[in-house]
Amino acid sequence: MQNLVVYYSWSGDTKFVANLIKEITGADIFEIELVEPFSADYKTVAQEYREDNRIGKIRKLKKTVENLSSYDVIFIGTPIWGNTRALPIKSFLHEHNLFGKTVVPFATHAGGGAGTCFNDMKKEAPQAHFVEGLSLSSNQIRNKAGIENWLLKIDVIK
């Protein structure tokens, strides 16, 4: 069984968790990058998010996963924006067919929880099988034991 960790990280928290999952599971890793990236400034990125969301804009990816068919389990990591997944995740799901894949979502947030993130991802990739996701606040992301326990619980590691 081949695993892939796909993630988008704005502040670095989601990247940290993605790399822990890669280390624990031995998965390959893919960072979502956009042709037209979001601003590094918090106020500006919040405005860009609201505007893109309002008009339904889907920003193009710099690259896609070329050998997606070789992966059985795909972890998808996102920061929480506006009570849901970050828009680059929507771009990824729009550009990749996850038919028959097992998707393991994970989210990082500042303390407000995952909101509608996991349900929204399911709606955007209805052809995939989703398992229980993990939501981590910024003070929980370095808890490797907690992440390992979640991976054991969802039967990704033994």
Domains of the chain: 3-153 (3.40.50.360)
Q: Identify whether the C-beta of residue 77 lies closer than 8 Å to the C-beta of residue 104.
A: no
Cβ contacts of residue 99 below 8 Å, gap of 6+?
127, 128
> Per-residue pLDDT for 1 more than 80?
no
| pTM, rounded to two decimals | 0.96
Q: What's the length of the chain? A: 158
Per residue in 43-84, pLDDT (tens digit) is 999 999 999 999 999 999 999 998 999 999 999 999 999 999
- Please answer whether residues 58 and 90 qualify as being in contact, where contact means their C-beta atoms are separated by less than 8 angstroms: yes
